[in-house]
Amino acid sequence: MSFASDVKNEIISFERAECCQSAMNYGLLLFARSFSKDSISLLTENESVANAFADASFSLCNKKTPLQISDAGKYKVNIEDGVQIAEILNNLGYDVKSFKRRINFANIPDSCCFSAFAAGAFLACGTVTDPDKEYHLEFSLSTKGLCDDLVKIFDEFEIQPKTTLRGGAYVVYIKNSNDIEELLTRMGAMETAMQLMGAKMFKDIRNTVNRKVNFESANLERAVAAATKQQDAIIKLTEKSGIDSLPEQLREIARLRLADIQLSSAEIAKMLPEPISVSGVNHRFRKIIKMAEESEK
pLDDT of residue 101: 92
Mean pLDDT, consecutive 10-residue stretches, the chain (297 aa), reads 87 92 95 92 93 92 86 88 92 88 91 92 93 89 92 90 92 92 89 77 70 76 84 84 80 84 85 86 87 78
Q: Torsions phi, psi of 107, nearest 5?
A: -85, 0
Residue-level pLDDT at 269? 86
Q: What pLDDT, on the 0 to 100 scale, is given for residue 172? A: 95
Query: Cα separation of 16 and 21, whole Å?
Result: 6
Collect all residues with Cβ–Cβ distance below 8 Å to 41 and sequence separation of at least 6.
32, 33, 34, 76, 77, 78, 79, 80
Q: Which residues contact 170 (CB under 8 A, 6 or more apart)?
A: 140, 141, 142, 143, 144, 146, 147, 163, 164
Tell me 107's DSSP state.
Answer: G
- Give the pLDDT of residue 150: 94
> What is the structure's pLDDT at 297?
67
Which pLDDT value is given to residue 67?
86
Phi-psi region of 250 (alpha: psi -120 to 50; beta: other; left: phi over 0): alpha
Which of 120, 113, 151 shows the shortest CA–CA distance to 11?
120
The pTM score is: 0.69
- Give the model's pLDDT for residue 1: 65
Cβ 13 vs Cβ 5: under 8 Å: no
Query: What kind and span of H or E run contains 175?
Result: none
Q: Where are the domains of the chain?
A: 3-188, 203-295
CB of 39 closer than 8 Å to CB of 132: no
Just give the CATH number of 3-188.
3.10.28.10
